[in-house]
Chains A and B, each alone.
Chain A
Amino acid sequence: MKFGIVVNEGPYTHQASDSAYQFTKAALEKGHEVFRVFFYHDGVNNGTRLTVPPQDERHIQRNWSSLAEEHNLDLVVCIAAAQRRGILDADEAKRQGKDTDNIAPGFRISGLGQLIEAGIQCDRLVIFGD
């Protein structure tokens, strides 16, 4: 079955990002396809590579990046939500005249249309949030 996942909450806030990660992992382990994980609202904060949690703590951004690499996942960050919160890829950083980008490996920035497409393409859409 084809799954779409939406994450509306940032990392280390309550538990939504952790739940979404565990759910995505379990779905992949069961042989389902995860068509896309869409990060919206504060959820875009999961996608900054400048995340530096203490070494003995779970690294939520790296967990997502690793899962994406392992399973070729499409991790999409909403552009409007990302710009408000300072999440930029190289193109956006250049366009906005910023000195660096911070999008994490495996994540890409795109529009809300990607969420609509996931809703149309997927058999199931599951939302995790605050």
Chain B
Amino acid sequence: MLHTVNKSPFETSTLLSCLRHAREGDAVLLIEDGVYGALKGTTVAGEIWPRKGQLAFYVLGPDLEARGLDKSRLIDGFKVVDYGGFVDLVAEHDVTQSWL
């Protein structure tokens, strides 16, 4: 399953809900303000670390760039994708769960 999260973890708890429900082998894609969840050194980064071996983490590059966030600030292991990569992730997983 692919999970998408589009809100900042400092605004809503959807990223945390997603991390608690996602199963091993699932992928998590952060888009829109959700990309703030991919930054290292934040108070929520510690929630992502324990799931790093079990879940594949992706972040939407255009939304990072729109917010002036450099890739060097990402938590290790996050892969950056463009909209084409977003489409590929949806195609690769049988279901997409949007955490709204």
Contact = CB atoms under 8 A, between A and B. Distances in A.
A15 B100 CA distance: 12
A19 B84 contact: no
Interface of B: 4, 6, 31-33, 62-63, 82-84, 86-88, 90-91, 96, 98, 100
Nearest to A18: B32
Contacts of B90: 3, 124, 126
A30 B96 contact: no
Contacts of A8: 100
B86 A26 contact: yes
Q: Chain A contact residues (Cβ within 8 angstroms of B): what range?
A: 20 to 34
Closest 10 CB pairs of A and B: A26-B83, A127-B98, A129-B100, A15-B32, A27-B87, A22-B83, A26-B87, A26-B84, A126-B96, A124-B90
Identify whether the interface residues of A are mostly helix, strand, loop, or mixed. Answer: mixed
Contacts of A14: 6, 32-33
B6 A30 contact: no
Contact of B98 (A25, A27, A126): A126
A127 B99 CA distance: 9
Contacts of B87: 23, 26-27, 30, 32
Contacts of B32: 14-16, 19
A128 B86 CA distance: 13
Given A14-B32, A19-B6, A124-B90, 10 more contacts: A3-B90, A15-B6, A15-B32, A16-B6, A25-B83, A26-B82, A26-B86, A32-B87, A127-B98, A127-B100
